A = this chain, B = another copy of it.
Amino acid sequence: MPDYQGGNRLLDALPSSERDALLRDARIEHLVRRQPLLAPGSLPGDVSFPISALVSIVVVFENGETNEVGVVGREGFVPVEHALGVQAVQRTAFCQVAGETVHVGVAAFRAAIEQRGELFGLVQRSIGARLFAAEQLVGCNITHSLRERCARWLLMTRDRVGENEFPLTHDFLAMMLGVRRASVTEIAGELQEEGAIKYQRGLVTITDEAKLAQRACECYAAITTEFERVLTEGRRNTNHGRS
């Protein structure tokens, strides 16, 4: 593939030979906001490595309520099911912030994993981080206030898209956090009042990251640290080849 210039941290951590092999028949796609990626029962033919796009993984309950349960940006890939040999995806996922992703065919992805090189270890550890994050959020949603979770969400999103400004409506954020739109409006108003963020009709800007981080719960740091650890943990440690 000629036009991949880096951007996905998982891909960028690969030795170039391995990356070239994996990306031979890959292509870059532009995802638009709200574009669906996964639906329950589906089995997509591609594995996506976001570059600038942001993907939300949500659970849709019987009564129609929808909660975000995971988020994947340039630090990961989607769906993990293809790396775990699970035969059907049971979640819903869609593009939350428009941008580019690298699409790799399932066959190529699996073949590359079978090489047991860097990719295998990275993918495995990245799944570990995904699990860690999900578990953290299980506790977070029970223990931390909406205000804390709201700040955490904004920071996590910022990190993944790599921009301090991104499109976001109160309505959407409310859905992600599983709360009322009006509650988000209140909190967002406070955060704006305090100078941490700025709102303008569907566009947020993080104006004071440190201030926002103060208001976020510890889960932000925990999840960030874990992803960092997992992505930078060198090849030395992945003893998955021959023992």
Contact = CB atoms under 8 A, between A and B. Distances in A.
Interface of A: 57-59, 61-62, 65, 67, 69-70, 80-81, 83-88, 90-91, 107, 110-111, 114, 121, 124-125, 127-128, 130-132, 134-139, 141-143, 177-179, 218, 222, 226, 229-230, 233, 237-240, 242-243
Contacts of A83: 124
A239 B110 contact: yes
Contacts of A62: 218
Contacts of A81: 128
A178 B143 contact: yes
Given A110-B239, A127-B127, A138 B69 contact: yes
A131 B131 contact: yes
Nearest to A131: B131
Given A114-B243, A138-B138, A143-B178, 10 more contacts: A57-B135, A61-B143, A65-B143, A86-B230, A90-B226, A91-B132, A91-B135, A134-B134, A138-B141, A139-B178
Given A132-B90, A135-B134, A139-B178, A114 B84 contact: no
A190 to B, nearest CB: 21
A240 B85 contact: yes
Contact of A238 (B85, B143, B240, B243): B85
Given A61-B143, A61-B218, A226-B90, A138 B128 contact: no
24 contacts: A57-B135, A59-B135, A59-B138, A61-B139, A67-B139, A67-B142, A67-B143, A69-B135, A69-B136, A70-B135, A80-B128, A80-B131, A81-B128, A84-B127, A85-B124, A85-B128, A86-B128, A87-B233, A87-B237, A90-B226, A91-B132, A114-B242, A137-B138, A142-B178
Contacts of A124: 83-86
A233 B70 CA distance: 25
A75 to B, nearest CB: 15
Q: Tell me which of A138, A233, A242 has the highest count of chain B C-beta atoms within 10 A of its own C-beta.
A: A138
A80 to B, nearest CB: 7
Nearest to A127: B84
Identify the 10 closest CB pairs spanning chains A and B, nearest first: A142-B178, A134-B134, A67-B139, A69-B135, A59-B139, A84-B128, A86-B128, A69-B138, A141-B141, A137-B138
